[in-house]
Structure 1
Amino acid sequence: MKNPVDKGLLRSLTLMDAIGIGLGAIIGAGIFVVTGIAAGVSGPAFIIGLLAAGIIAAFNALSSAQLAAVYPHSGGTYEYGYILINPAFGFSAGWMFLISKLSAAGVVAIGFGSYFHQLVPIVSPITLSIMAVILLTAANYFGIKKVGILNFAIITVTLISLLYLTFSGISEIKEENFKPFAPFGISGIAEAAAILFFAFTGYARIATLAEEVAEPKKTIPKAIIITIVTAIVLYVAISIVAIGVIGSEKMANSTSPLQVVANALSTPAISTIITIGASTAMLGVLLSQVLGISRMMLAMGRRRDLPPIFQNIHSQYQVPHIGIVVTGAIILLFTILGSFEFIVRAATFTILLYYSITNIAAIRQPLKERLYGKFIPICGLLGCLIMSVSLPINVIISGVGLLIIGFVIRFLVHKVYR
């Protein structure tokens, strides 16, 4: 099916912009929260799980890069599913992306308010969360280039804070904190890998924004590869330091393990700097969520899987302004009411489904379009399927239920607009 792009967005994102958006989407709750959960299920060996998750994510990233280089349109896997598999797969990818990212954005906004309140206790955490959603929605409205600049500033602060923590902790690493290394065996490492996989998934945001990247055929593959490699190296370095300084048990007993690491160090202002880094990390993820969700709404509006009003592009700012405003409003609602727990739980299923469709689309690409061959997407698909086996049955049921709701909404939209 031919892509129904009839009005283009502004192609102004450079390689550095794309890398910044990818890193801003990845480095958030994953490194600041999920590492503690992974340490609880596998002990110090969660580092092996982290590497395994990073390798699987890298296979998925290469599949995304290969597809985005050939089909540089807004929507990412939603478009690839439509073009290379069938509309049902395409819609499934798009709908699951919207559900998981909208819910996650509410969680991230609440997380930002909690962290930033420690630095600026002038107003309540929820007020800070609401202010962040409004400001970042406005930033998205006034043009992609401004978002790129803002995102670069945010991710720079986050990276500096994490590097400061890493170098501060190297001299404080204790060998005994790595023993016993794998108290829960292979099964613990496998479970940690499944948990930590979701800490890497933000690189797909680059593919979702492909229609706004300059020279996409060259820029997108480079940006995705640099982003995922940087994230893997950074995550492994921080995790080694975290275990070495406080041990896996203390990490597992905290909802903010890196803050515990910082508190155990005597480096000047380390605790404050990590709090700032956590705050900017949440902002970066939230900014990229608004970007990605609004572009997915644009793509789905073009194909009438959502009302066609979402395909409108602002004449001056060249952004999908209707999608941005609606995205901001829904995130604001989730932030005020609190994200629905069953949707958050189902996010693990939705992400694995999304990347499974990505890999299937890459496998189905014609030979002349492939950059890496079939081996890469086959490995990515197998990794997604293996990790899905570890999911609790209630998570899978929740995910399937949300998918069914999506197809009902799609049927109703088609009845009205087709």
Structure 2
Amino acid sequence: MTERSISPQPALARRLGVGDAAVIGLGSMVGAGVFAVWAPAARAAGALVLLSLVIAAFVAYCNAVASAQLAAVYPVSGGTYAYGRERLGPWWGYAAGCAFVLGKTASCAAMALTFATYAVPGHEWAQRLTALAAVLALTAVNYRGVTRTAALTRVLVGCTLLVLAIVVAVLLISPAADHVTNWSTSTNPYGVLQAAGLLFFAFAGYARIATMGEEVRDPARTIPRAILIALFVAVGIYLLVGVSLLLALGPDRIAASSAPLATAVEAVGAAWAQPIVRVGAALASLGALLALIAGIGRTSLAMARTRDLPRWLAAVHPRFQVPHHAELALAVVVGVLVLTTDLRGVIGFSSFGVLLYYAIANAAAFTQPAEQRRWPRFVNVLGLAGCLVLAVTLPLTSAVTCAVLLGLAMLARLLVRRRASTA
């Protein structure tokens, strides 16, 4: 087997239809980000935060169609890791896989801790143990098969959307609401782009559909439809929430709040809705965590098949047909992180890694021949440029930290390959 080949064995079962795949993607996008991403975005973009949202959504659309076009031709686990290897070469695929695994593993810890913060307000160690319990419980759900993952995601997404509907209705029609219309805070183009990069964190969930390409039925039809359905629904939800928050609080108060939705319902005289917001944030965090575990497990499986990760991680459970070793290893790593660190401020770090991941996806899609194309090449060019621009405008510490870790991962691969070639 050459370094560039992607082994199809052991195979996962194709059990997901369009609805299940779209719900998994939506569960990743309408997660804790919709409750937490507004404050840092408003601090960067001020009154133009909705413009930042539109920019993030446009870049996400370009990335989504690139992923859909690639997944229709390469319906295997791994997403851009697999596409990068096939279209650009092993090193590009490895870079994409590492960027995804690094960024999203940190996001797993962040989502678990966010869930615990809302579910168990109070003592730090009670929160950490609750976060660990959430990681173990959702790993167990994933371990039982992808249909169990999809079923639980449907429940969590449904509850989250119900909570958001209640909150938006309260903010827009509450008799006590005194809607803010003066949004004239100072901002600049750099701040708008930085906020777009942070908001992109919310739209990266459709990657989960592509990374699970080996588990969908009729992938050439299912994956493109599921990706676009999930993305457009998520964009609509974020626009509704963003407009509601701006009317209730204005950009300055959004930027100053650690929990903007809770602050907003209190501001319009509906403090009774704060517990509903807390429950919604907790459920959304669980939904995002569940989808993250599934996506990272499949990417790790693909990397292990080509020996970019230890071969042990390529095991597929003979009964449940899931990458059980990869998911168990992820649970251990995330469990250690939630017990030892606080990664709730990881939005910039995760966004940087995922923007690099999609930059490689756009480059890979650009190389596809005419008979494989569903969208014109200029969409891939716009997507690649958008990813790079948003990545370099993210907070410097987050970007540098992710870049250094990615560089160390690339160095580790180089040393392993050299050692293997001289053995």
Q: Which residue of 2 aligns with 1:231?
A: 234
Separation in 2 of the partners of 1:340 and 1:16?
A: 32
Q: Which residue of 2 aligns with 1:352?
A: 355
Separation in 1 of the partners of 2:85 and 2:232?
A: 29
Q: Is the 8 A contact 1:306 1:410 kept in 2?
A: no
Q: Which residue of 1 aligns with 2:367?
A: 364
Q: Which residue of 2 aligns with 1:145?
A: 147
- For residues 243-296 of structure 1, give each alpha carbon's deviation from its aligned partner in whole angstroms, at most 9, with x where no partner exists: 111222211111111111122344584212111110011001111111011111
Q: Is the 8 A contact 2:178 2:268 kept in 1?
A: no
Q: Is the 8 A contact 1:76 1:209 kept in 2?
A: yes
Separation in 1 of the partners of 2:143 and 2:415?
A: 29
Q: Is the 8 A contact 1:80 1:90 kept in 2?
A: yes
Q: Which amino acid aligns with 1:133?
A: V
Q: Which residue of 1 aligns with 2:253?
A: 250
Offset at residue 344 of structure 1 (A):
6.8
RMSD over aligned CA atoms reads 2.4
1:136 equivalenced with 2:173 (yes/no): no
Q: Which residue of 2 aligns with 1:86?
A: 89
Offset at residue 24 of structure 1 (A):
1.0
SS in 2 for 1:284: helix
Q: Is the 8 A contact 1:103 1:344 kept in 2?
A: no
- For residues 125-175 of structure 1, give each alpha carbon's deviation from its aligned partner in whole angstroms, at most 9, with x where no partner exists: 222111101100111111111111011111110111011111221124978
Offset at residue 389 of structure 1 (A):
3.2
Separation in 2 of the partners of 1:197 and 1:253?
A: 21
Separation in 2 of the partners of 1:222 and 1:184?
A: 37
- For residues 211-266 of structure 1, give each alpha carbon's deviation from its aligned partner in whole angstroms, at most 9, with x where no partner exists: 11111111111111011111111101111111111222211111111111122344
Separation in 1 of the partners of 2:368 and 2:376?
A: 9
Q: Which residue of 1 aligns with 2:337?
A: 334
Q: Is the 8 A contact 1:60 1:377 kept in 2?
A: yes
* Structure 1: segments with no counterpart, 5+ residues: none
Q: Which residue of 1 aligns with 2:220?
A: 217
Please say which of residues 393-402 and 62-71 is displaced more in the overlay. Answer: 393-402
* Aligned CA distance change for structure 1 residues 39 and 341 (closer, same or farther; 3 Å): closer
Q: Which residue of 1 aligns with 2:74?
A: 71
Q: Is the 8 A contact 1:342 1:398 kept in 2?
A: no
Separation in 2 of the partners of 1:27 and 1:350?
A: 19
* Structure 2: segments with no counterpart, 5+ residues: none
* Aligned CA distance change for structure 1 residues 176 and 146 (closer, same or farther; 3 Å): closer
5 Å-filtered alignment, 1:380-395, equals 380-395=383-398
Candidates 3, 8, 13, aligned match of 1:5: 8
Q: Which amino acid aligns with 1:313?
A: V
5 Å-filtered alignment, 1:157-306, equals 157-172=159-174, 177-181=180-184, 183-266=186-269, 269-306=272-309
Q: TM-score, normalised by structure 2?
A: 0.92
* Aligned CA distance change for structure 1 residues 413 and 130 (closer, same or farther; 3 Å): same
Q: Which amino acid aligns with 2:143?
A: Y
Identical-residue share of aligned pairs (%): 34
* Aligned CA distance change for structure 1 residues 87 and 355 (closer, same or farther; 3 Å): same
Please say which of residues 165-174 and 98-107 is displaced more in the overlay. Answer: 165-174
Please say which of residues 168-177 and 79-88 is displaced more in the overlay. Answer: 168-177
